[in-house]
Amino acid sequence: MPEAASPQPAPGSDALPKTYDPAGTEARWQAAWEQAGAFHPDPAAPGQPFSVVIPPPNVTGSLHMGHAFNTALIDTIVRFQRLQGKNVLCLPGTDHASIAVQTILEKQLKAEGASKDDLGRDAFFERAWAWKAESGGTIVGQLRRLGYSVDWGRERFTLDPGLNKAVVEAFLRLHEQGLIYRGEYLVNWCPASGSAVSDLEVEMKEVEGSLWHLRYPLTPLADHPIDHLVVATTRPETMLGDTAVAVNPADPRYAHLVGRSITLPLMGRQIPIVADEHVDPAFGTGCVKVTPAHDPNDFAIGQRHGLPQITVMAKDGSMNEAAGRFAGLDRFEARKAVVAAMEAEGLLVKTEPHRHSVPYSDRGKVPVEPLLSTQWFVRTEPLAARCRTALDNPAGAEPRFVPERWSKVYRDWLTDIRDWCISRQLWWGHRIPAWFVVSETGGVITEATPYFVGRSEAEAWAKAEAQFGAASLAAGRDLVLEQDPDVLDTWFSSGLWPFSTLGWPDPAAADLATWYPTSVLVTGFDIIFFWVARMTMLAGAFLPEARAPFGDVYIHGLVRDENNRKMSKSAGNGIDPLLLIERYGADALRFALVREVAGAGQDIRLDYDRKTDTSATVEAARNFANKLFNATRFALMNLGGETPASLGEPVLAELESEDRWILSRLVRTSSQCAELCGSYRLGEAAKLLYEFAWNDLCDQYIEWAKPRLFGDDQAARTTARRVLAHSLEALLVMLHPLMPHLSEDLWHAVTGAEASEFLALQRWPQPNQQWLDPSHESAFQFGIDAVRAIRNLRALSGVKPAEKLPIGIHTPTAARRDFVIANQGKISRLVGASELHWEAEPTAGQLLGIVDSDAQVGLSVPQQSLDALRERLQKDLAKVEKEIAGLAGRLANPNFAGKAPPEVVAECQANLAEARAQAELVRGRLLDLG
């Protein structure tokens, strides 16, 4: 980056604008980092490897605030680790989101009056890739705009050729291990997308439905009093596929009927009455209709009793030929028609309103239909078992969840896990690498058609030839192979993400060797099952030696809107991160998001005014950015063209009180902040730096150091410059993970570093440990307290801020006396004193304020009505008396003295003495005031 392009003039210049304008600065540094390849690591480089693969956003449009949040957290972590000197890889990418993208495209086609079948598979794919290019481009642009320090040179897409290779290999190996099978089962069928979906993609929704009580006539039997049973159902249309009625074997009302048969109304079919323990005698009439082909529970009953499965619905949700005269009707129309028909026959007993759960398709937003279908499945238990073992690793759970409580959620899901339906009747996705020998089954694919799994069609052919070639030849027919038309669940490819992106299955991949397993996965709790568990299961199948594909899993909450609702596209309550970035800057948005996340993975609520597109939270962060900008501007104006390096380190022997104080605070802050960032307590780290920067450096240090910075004493000025430059530089380094652009920019301005150098690649500050000095910190704290007491007194007595007047500080303690005398000029400036003097005891004729039991401050002002001061003192007295009561009460308790730690008792006694002394002072002052 050419120097001329920098917004910062050379150090020492005072030509900076008064406010920070993030837009240009952020774009410039993003470009500079990328052009320099700053985040493109070499696997052979020194430094402990640290790696993160980002959760790839779906290419379904653009990013929302949740992505910005996830990005802010990950980038803070990886930038921090980079500053620790690690060899950091942060790998970006996007997800093809098979079902979601196909839904979008089909909707577009429908709007154009076309369908995917008109287009054909190839043209549809072309269209899908075009969509991917557009949406993916938008997303990548947004990620760049946030300042994500990822390696764009390693960007991946879950449907790119490299990932396809990994997907095919994974499928093959799982198949070889017997962990993939194909079979006809009751699956969740989404009629909207025309595909099977997994259990996870089904969401239970409470709906107001009806419970229909239907009369099923018993097949007549001479001299038997009961001639019918009543069944209750929420789905009358499925009765067309009933193959039994079930009762509880212990139900005395019906026990004697078990084994008899019923004539199924409307269909005329004879179906048996079976006894099954899973029937709840208390629900409805205690009799349930059994439709094994359309209900999971009935399916299980059917299996136990060997009942036939009659599918009465087609895959588009309409009734099929097996539904007799209802064939062709949509399932919801059929429901009405069946009820009407039953009523017409006098078989509808009653209809009750009934609230119940209905499975909905996550994507299609329509009720899912349990349907018998031949699909591919992953046998999950062996994989899950390995994950549970890794979690129980005596040397430490793998992965380690942060916060820990999520590991229970993860474990529970991996216990009693169901097999994973991985085939989808879609086009956009990884085609299943299986070829059917359709010549064996008359040219069609059935459940019985033999198939071969291969890395390529040629490989499948070779296998097919070997097994069926001779027989085919003998039978005089050609071998015909046809690839399975279906694609894999998106999560199958996402599940390989932490290693497929690093080069797996190539055993020699350097990235894999260096950066696998990855260091930490950062994601929301909502995809622990979808993604985290799938990755650990699949990694266990292929790279079991690592136990888990990531050491830590840092689970964060969701971003909620100003009304505490989860932000979502469908609810229309999303907030576009770009709007806030444009208004406040990416650094401000990032800082605001991270600062909100101090707690243990709680959701964060981002305040937002939709009328004005403003956010007080982000605005506060923007103000902080501006404060830093101005602090740096001040430094540049007062460092005399020098840099931290040219000035050299502060020299201990030359330091004044505020120097000792800020450097001690710096030592403390740098180690605390590193500790917090290293343990994912990023919000606390953000707050710590905010306080150090604003309260300590700006409000105190700079104000106390101004006389030296403005003065003529060269030696004193150099010392102050050294401390200021040093503290500021360290602060900028520490802030870099949180506010990368601003800190990079200001760091260049302060250090005068070459454009080819980057703060992003510097080292975390290592301030001299000798500067840590608690006694100086408390000594200086007295100065802060005294200044505040004087200012308070001025405000209460109504002295004009600009009015200078004689001021005294009264303390008998030698160290404090020395402090006051040594800092006379500085304190005078801070409190507006025309003359500042020290006396052990206050002399008469002053207006006095109390710092603590050992110090008072006095203003030489004419006596006046001082209700405000009196009020204040009375309040102080009340407070201190309350404290005395509490402390005295505690000390009077013999158990306290006996059982509490001695240092606590001593502290308590000291506090009591202090409080009593203060109370005395306050009472004295009140008496003086009359």
Partner RNA sequence: GGGCGAUUAGCUCAGAGGUAGAGCACUACCUUGACACGGUAGGAGUCACUGGUUCGAUUCCAGUAUCGCCCA
Among 893, 913, 920, 928, binds RNA (CB under 7 A): 893
Among 251, 482, 699, 839, binds RNA (CB under 7 A): 699
Longest dimension (CA), the chain: 124
In the bound complex, what is the minimum distance in angstroms from residue 378's beta carbon to RNA? 17
Residues 186-215 that bind RNA (CB under 7 A): 199-200, 203-204
Answer for the pair 503, 509: CB distance below 8 angstroms, yes or no.
yes
Kind and range of the H or E run holding 289: strand 287-290
Q: Which one of 127-135, 263-271, 539-547, 596-604 is the stretch in contact with RNA (CB under 7 A)? A: 596-604
Instruction: Tell me how crowded residue 125 is: count the other CB atoms within 10 A of its CB.
Output: 15
Distance between CA 689 and CA 693 in Å, rounded? 6
Residues 559-578 that bind RNA (CB under 7 A): 560, 564, 566
Among 329, 385, 409, 755, binds RNA (CB under 7 A): 409
For residues 124 to 163, the per-residue mask of contacts with RNA, x marking binding by CB under 7 A and - elsewhere, is ----------------------------------------
Kind and range of the H or E run holding 770: none
Instruction: Tell me how crowded residue 517 is: count the other CB atoms within 10 A of its CB.
Output: 21
In the bound complex, what is the minimum distance in angstroms from residue 594's beta carbon to RNA? 12
Residues 377-406 that bind RNA (CB under 7 A): 405
Sequence-ordered list of residues with C-beta below 8 angstroms from that of 803, at least 6 positions apart, any chain: 832
Name the residue nearer to RNA (CB basis): 336 or 899.
899
Distance in Å from the first CA to the final CA of the chain = 71
Sequence-ordered list of residues with C-beta below 8 angstroms from that of 422, at least 6 positions apart, any chain: 180, 198, 375, 376, 377, 378, 488, 489, 492
Q: Which one of 144-152, 185-193, 534-542, 698-706 is the stretch in contact with RNA (CB under 7 A)? A: 698-706
Among 160, 237, 295, 684, binds RNA (CB under 7 A): 684
Q: Does 582 bind RNA (CB under 7 A)?
A: no
Residues 476-495 that bind RNA (CB under 7 A): none
Question: Token pair of 592, please?
Answer: 């605001």
Strand order in the sheet with 244-247: 261-263, 270-275, 244-247, 287-290
Name the residue nearer to RNA (CB basis): 323 or 851.
851
For residues 494 to 513, the per-residue mask of contacts with RNA, x marking binding by CB under 7 A and - elsewhere, is --------------------
Name the residue nearer to RNA (CB basis): 509 or 866.
866
Residues 704-733 that bind RNA (CB under 7 A): 706, 710
In the bound complex, what is the minimum distance in angstroms from residue 598's beta carbon to RNA? 4
Name the residue nearer to RNA (CB basis): 536 or 918.
918
Which of 249, 166, 826 shows the shortest CA–CA distance to 495?
166
Name the residue nearer to RNA (CB basis): 159 or 522.
522
In the bound complex, what is the minimum distance in angstroms from residue 900's beta carbon to RNA? 4
In the bound complex, what is the minimum distance in angstroms from residue 725's beta carbon to RNA? 14
Among 56, 370, 683, 752, binds RNA (CB under 7 A): 683
In the bound complex, what is the minimum distance in angstroms from residue 11's beta carbon to RNA? 14
Name the residue nearer to RNA (CB basis): 126 or 412.
412
In the bound complex, what is the minimum distance in angstroms from residue 250's beta carbon to RNA? 21
For residues 600 to 639, the per-residue mask of contacts with RNA, x marking binding by CB under 7 A and - elsewhere, is x-xxxx-x--------xx--x-xx-xxx--xx-xx--x--
Residues 897-926 that bind RNA (CB under 7 A): 898-901, 904, 907, 911, 914-915
In the bound complex, what is the minimum distance in angstroms from residue 566's beta carbon to RNA? 7
DSSP state of 39: T
Distance between CA 479 and CA 457 in Å, rounded? 13
Q: Which one of 49-57, 135-143, 244-252, 892-900 is the stretch in contact with RNA (CB under 7 A)? A: 892-900
Name the residue nearer to RNA (CB basis): 585 or 740.
585
Among 299, 360, 451, 529, binds RNA (CB under 7 A): 529
Name the residue nearer to RNA (CB basis): 459 or 603.
603
Answer for the pair 145, 578: CB distance below 8 angstroms, yes or no.
yes
In the bound complex, what is the minimum distance in angstroms from residue 896's beta carbon to RNA? 4
Which of 74, 127, 138, 79 shows the shortest CA–CA distance to 104?
127
Tell me the residue ranges of DSSP E strands in 564-688: 604-605
Answer for the pair 670, 768: CB distance below 8 angstroms, yes or no.
no
Q: Beta strands 202-217 and 348-361: pairing type?
A: antiparallel
Q: Does 698 bind RNA (CB under 7 A)?
A: yes
Instruction: Tell me how crowded residue 875 is: count the other CB atoms within 10 A of its CB.
Output: 11
Name the residue nearer to RNA (CB basis): 119 or 598.
598
In the bound complex, what is the minimum distance in angstroms from residue 907's beta carbon to RNA? 6
In the bound complex, what is the minimum distance in angstroms from residue 102's beta carbon to RNA? 23
Distance between CA 136 and CA 133 in Å, rounded? 5
Among 459, 703, 777, 854, binds RNA (CB under 7 A): 703
In the bound complex, what is the minimum distance in angstroms from residue 3's beta carbon to RNA? 23
Among 110, 121, 408, 610, binds RNA (CB under 7 A): 408
Question: Token pair of 5, please?
Answer: 């392009």
Question: Token pair of 450, please?
Answer: 């033999």
Name the residue nearer to RNA (CB basis): 330 or 362.
362
Q: Does 791 bind RNA (CB under 7 A)?
A: yes
Taking only Cα atoms into account, the Rg of the chain, rounded to an integer number of angstroms, comes to: 37
Sequence-ordered list of residues with C-beta below 8 angstroms from that of 185, at least 6 positions apart, any chain: 372, 373, 375, 377, 421
Is 62 in a helix, a strand, or coil? coil
Q: Which one of 40-48, 212-220, 547-555, 788-796 is the stretch in contact with RNA (CB under 7 A)? A: 788-796
> What number of CA atoms fall less than 13 Å from residue 746's CA on the CB side?
30
Show the CA angle centred on residue 83, arms to residues 82 and 89, nearest 5°.
0
Give the rounded distance of the alpha carbon of 214 from its chain centre.
49
In the bound complex, what is the minimum distance in angstroms from residue 241's beta carbon to RNA? 23
Q: Beta strands 604-605 and 559-560: pairing type?
A: parallel
Among 258, 598, 772, 805, binds RNA (CB under 7 A): 598
Q: Does 853 bind RNA (CB under 7 A)?
A: no
845: left (phi over 0), alpha (psi -120 to 50) or beta: left
Residues 3-32 that bind RNA (CB under 7 A): 18-20
Question: Token pair of 735, please?
Answer: 């802030």
Q: Which one of 131-139, 145-153, 391-399, 794-802 is the stretch in contact with RNA (CB under 7 A)? A: 794-802
Residues 89-118 that bind RNA (CB under 7 A): none
In the bound complex, what is the minimum distance in angstroms from residue 804's beta carbon to RNA? 12
In the bound complex, what is the minimum distance in angstroms from residue 571's beta carbon to RNA? 11
Is 225 in a helix, a strand, or coil? coil
Name the residue nearer to RNA (CB basis): 105 or 836.
836
Sequence-ordered list of residues with C-beta below 8 angstroms from that of 7, at least 6 positions apart, any chain: 21, 24, 25, 28, 745
Name the residue nearer to RNA (CB basis): 410 or 515.
410
In the bound complex, what is the minimum distance in angstroms from residue 100's beta carbon to RNA? 18
Answer for the pair 303, 296: CB distance below 8 angstroms, yes or no.
no
In the bound complex, what is the minimum distance in angstroms from residue 205's beta carbon to RNA? 10
In the bound complex, what is the minimum distance in angstroms from residue 648's beta carbon to RNA? 24
Answer for the pair 90, 54: CB distance below 8 angstroms, yes or no.
yes
Q: Does 355 bind RNA (CB under 7 A)?
A: no
Sequence-ordered list of residues with C-beta below 8 angstroms from that of 600, at least 6 positions apart, any chain: 403, 405
The count of residues interacting with RNA (CB under 7 A) is 75
Beta bridge partners of 290: 244
Query: Is it true that the peptide bond before 517 is cis, omega within 30 degrees of 0?
Result: yes
Distance between CA 17 and CA 630 in Å, rounded? 9
